Structure 1
Amino acid sequence: MSEASPLLDKTSIQQLPPFENLNYQNIVVIENIEQCKTIEEELKKAVILGFDSESKPTFRVGEVSTGPHLIQLATTKKAYLFHVNSSTLKFLQPILSNPQQIKVGFGLKNDKHIFHKKGIELKSCVDLAKGFSHFGFTQQMGVQKAIALLFRQYLAKSKKVGTSNWARKPLTLQQISYAAADAYAALLVFEELRKQELLPAHISQTIQTALQT
């Protein structure tokens, strides 16, 4: 399948059946350490997690982002959306820095930078954006195109929601759905590529190393 594939034409993608996101009851918004503790065992058992983060946008020249303001982790059954504060960051640090827990997502280069500023070193992170060369795509692939390619589904990405205030409480239903979908979809893409044995060698090596550590 080449980059000129009509499937990945913007109009063609929008005509696909909608992406099957998690139901709202399987999306958990976390604000404090008490809530963190209720899911601690479940998250510790997860070997592979869909991962993403959202930051409140900056609009003025020279304005420095204070993000991330939301961190998303997803299993195949649930998505957890963490409002970032000192207690939730402390809870997440061992997971994000654990080389034996693989975090998969799209466009994670900036995430590594902003987490480093928070004193967290992301370990065993797999960026899926460059993992589609076997399909003939030389450019980085976003999660929306990846879902269209692998699942023939349309993952709607609202620019208005994507650039909304991710520091707000409570999040809107649109924000919750958008944030959960990014992490959940990344996990589905990873699992499908792994099932088809299409993961690039460097990603397969990352996984193998993490699981053997």
Structure 2
Amino acid sequence: MQLDLQPELPAYIGIDPAHVRLVRSDADAQQALAALLAADVIGFDTESKPTFAKGEVSTGPHLVQLATDDFAFLFQTATPAGNALAFTVLEPVLASGSILKVGFGLGDDVKRLKSKFGIELRHVLDLSTALRRRGEKNPLGAKSAVERFFGQRLQKSKRITTTNWSLPHLSDKQLQYAADDAHAALRIYRRWKTETPAV
């Protein structure tokens, strides 16, 4: 009996590493702010150092990712200096009612940003529920969405997901993973809107 095995999907090609910007200075922050405020929609995600001990409260997010169509901006928030630098960009962008923020499973991200920065996020769309088809009960994840809209496989390494995001120096793999999370959400949103008839 021959098994009918589906061929493995091609890997998702993420954002060009040359277009990933780690915001480390006031000049970086001003460039990021200008690009983000000029966008109609941005991809959004956060990463936090995992908590393993019972009762341990997360001090995250330790990394915040915001993506335009062309760039992904990453903000490290594990230190007071990083917090202050990130806040100059995050507050006007995330509290804006004219910029739509899109991402997957944003409940914890929104709560942690409010707790850490006091920012009330406005104009947010959680694609996990927005992209759910009629009759589907479970939220849609980024991996499933990439498969549905692009016919590709988004790598979600548990080793990277559960890594220490509060480290002062993140690896190239961490930076790429984080940038792709935000940028892929924006790409999926754009594709979805082109395929959805206007009402």
TM-score of the superposed pair, with normalisation by structure 1: 0.83
SS in 1 for 2:167: coil
Farther-moved stretch of structure 1 (124-133 vs 82-91): 82-91
- Residue 69 to residue 174, structure 1, CA distance change in 2 (3 Å): same
The letter of the residue matching 1:148 is E
Q: For residues 33 and 55 of structure 1, what CA distance do their matches in structure 2 show? A: 23
Provide the rounded CA distance (Å) in 2 between the counterparts of 1:167 and 1:33: 21
What's the counterpart of residue 39 of structure 2? 46
| Counterpart-to-counterpart distance in 1, 2:85 and 2:21 | 17
* TM-superposed deviation, 1:78: 1.1
1:136 CA displacement? 4.8
The corresponding residue for 2:98 is: 100
The answer as to whether partners of 1:33 and 1:88 remain within 8 angstroms in 2 is no
Look up the match of 2:80: none
Q: CA offsets, 1:113-159, max 9 Å, x none?
A: 11111201111010000123336532100001100011100110001
Q: Residue by residue, what CA displacement relative to the aligned partner does 1:13-57 show, whole Å, maximum 9, x if unpaired?
A: x92111011111011111233320133221210110000000111
1:33 to 2:32 alignment: no
Matches within 5 A, 1:55-134: 55-84=48-77, 85-118=83-116, 119-134=118-133
Q: What is the identity, as a one-letter code, of the residue corresponding to 1:159?
A: K
SS in structure 2 of the partner of residue 134 of structure 1: coil
- The answer for the alignment partner of 1:6 in structure 2 is none
Structure with greater helix percent:
1
Q: Deviations over 1:64-122 (max 9, x none)?
A: 11111100011111111111212212321110000101000000111111111120111
Q: Secondary structure at the residue paired with 2:42?
A: strand
The answer (yes or no) to whether the contact 2:132–2:140 under 8 Å persists in 1 is: no
Unaligned 5+ runs, structure 1: 1-10, 202-213
Q: Is contact 2:69–2:186 with CA below 8 Å preserved after alignment?
A: yes
In the alignment, residue 140 of structure 1 is paired with which amino acid? P
Root-mean-square deviation (CA, aligned residues, Å) is 1.9
Q: How does 1:189-208 map to 2 (within 5 A)?
A: 189-197=188-196
Q: Which runs of 4+ in 1 moved over 4 A?
A: none
* Structure 1 CA distance for aligned equivalents of residues 44 and 114 of structure 2: 16
Alpha-carbon distance in 1 for matches of 2:132, 2:30 = 40
Task: Name the amino acid aligned to 1:77.
Answer: D
Report how many aligned residue pairs link the two structures.
Answer: 189
Give the drift of 1:63: 0.8
Specify the SS of the correspondent of 1:133: coil
TM-score for both structures, normalised by structure 2:
0.89
